[in-house]
Amino acid sequence: MSLALFLHERGIRARIIDKKKEISPYSKALGINPRTLEILEPYGITKRFLENGRKMLAANIWKGDKLIVKNELSKVGHRYPFLLIQPQRETELILLEELAGRGIHVEYETQFMGFEKKEDGYRSVLQGEDVTHFDSDYIVGADGAHSDIRKQLNIPFEGFRYKETWELYDAELETQLPADEANILTFREGGMILMRIKENVWRVAGNLPGLLQHLPQTTRPGKISWSTRFTISHQVARTLVKDRIALIGDAAHVHSPIGGRGMNLGIEDAFLLSGLIAEGRVGAYEKLRHRYLRSTVKRVNTLTQFITGHSFLHRTVRNNLGLLKPFFPLGLPRARKFLLGLDRAL
């Protein structure tokens, strides 16, 4: 949706198809970072997001009930010095409305089945109520982690999957944890993150079996509005572009939700690609984006390992956080920039 929006502003028409019936009812991605807010600002969307979402002002690391470190995002030196918390469904609804206002509609229940190369572009086969064909100059695979387009191009999705299962809950909590801050709780056997979504509803996610039993003693869970289990993969497509077909979003890269970069990276991909399509140099997308995506997924992996305590090294660091406290000021600005997507100019 964001790609169609960016292309529209550059005078290029996009057709969006999606095989599902409608947008997902689940909250999924919660964090919209300053880089994304910056990108969407000229389209009037950031203003709507800011009116609707909530500001997350700091990220805290706890060991048991002891606060070890507070990373204040306001110190980042940016006009949006926070992570905006807004459930993905609400983000998508706003994008849908903004697109509709520009005469662009997502065609749901329409599946991309395949394509053939023509002299001047592509002919795609679409399955809706009937099978139809569609001619275009470009194809963009924004079709998620299991991307059919990536598979049809025989592009390997390189990386690995952790075996352990994560639990996720959107639940009402009675708690004394700071409400407008992300709270990372580390335990000997793993970790969890708690972030308030709105009112008294919080996102709780982590790799400890029976997660809600590990909540701090002063925290009580109430009604659960969504729960799911998932495993984590860290993968990047071997190439992002073939001829005039490009991959963006989860079709190009997946990683753990720790760090909240997934949806934000996808919107950045779309922004960069829209400019390159407009300039007729889509091939440059590979060079301008691939290395950064690989290094970002690597850094998300390090962060994830720190929280889950997967490796001996990360476990040791985590279990001795108190001793390392004097060194935290050195790492905080870098961590802040990464979390806010400001680790590199676009």
Ligand X SMILES: Cc1cc2nc3c(=O)[nH]c(=O)nc-3n(C[C@H](O)[C@H](O)[C@H](O)COP(=O)(O)OP(=O)(O)OC[C@H]3O[C@@H](n4cnc5c(N)ncnc54)[C@H](O)[C@@H]3O)c2cc1C
Contact residues: ligand X, CB under 6 A: 17-20, 28-31, 88, 111-112, 142-144, 148, 168, 249-251, 257, 260-264, 266
Q: Which of 15, 83, 17 is nearest to 55 (CA)?
A: 83
- Of the chain, the end-to-end C-alpha distance in Å amounts to 19
Residue 283 three-state SS = coil
Residues 6+ apart with CB under 8 A from 146: none
Q: What CA–CA distance (Å, rounded) separates 85 from 88?
A: 9
Q: Which two tokens stand for residue 221?
A: 């869970």
Q: How far is the CB of 197 from ligand X (least distance, A)?
A: 11
Q: What CA–CA distance (Å, rounded) separates 118 from 141?
A: 18
For the purposes of burial, counting CB atoms within 10 Å of the CB of 25, is it exposed (0-12), middle (13-18) or buried (19 or more)? exposed
Q: How far is the CB of 65 from ligand X (least distance, A)?
A: 25
Q: Are 268 and 35 a contacting pair, CB within 8 Å?
A: yes
DSSP 189: T
Looking at beta carbons, which residue is closest to ligand X?
Answer: 249
Q: How far is the CB of 91 from ligand X (least distance, A)?
A: 9
- Considering beta carbons, is residue 228 or 320 the nearer one to ligand X? 228
Q: Which two tokens stand for residue 297?
A: 């997924």
- Considering beta carbons, is residue 142 or 177 the nearer one to ligand X? 142
Q: How far is the CB of 56 from ligand X (least distance, A)?
A: 10
Q: How far is the CB of 73 from ligand X (least distance, A)?
A: 14
- Considering beta carbons, is residue 63 or 264 the nearer one to ligand X? 264
Q: What CA–CA distance (Å, rounded) separates 315 from 338?
A: 22
Q: Which of 236, 230, 233, 259 is nearest to 249 (CA)?
A: 236
- Considering beta carbons, is residue 69 or 167 the nearer one to ligand X? 167
Q: How far is the CB of 39 from ligand X (least distance, A)?
A: 13
Q: Are 166 and 232 a contacting pair, CB within 8 Å?
A: yes
- Considering beta carbons, is residue 131 or 324 the nearer one to ligand X? 131
- Considering beta carbons, is residue 260 or 309 the nearer one to ligand X? 260
Q: Exposed e or buried b for every residue in 81-95, given b needs 16+ CB within 10 A?
A: bbbbbbbbebbbebb
- Considering beta carbons, is residue 141 or 309 the nearer one to ligand X? 141
Q: How far is the CB of 64 from ligand X (least distance, A)?
A: 25
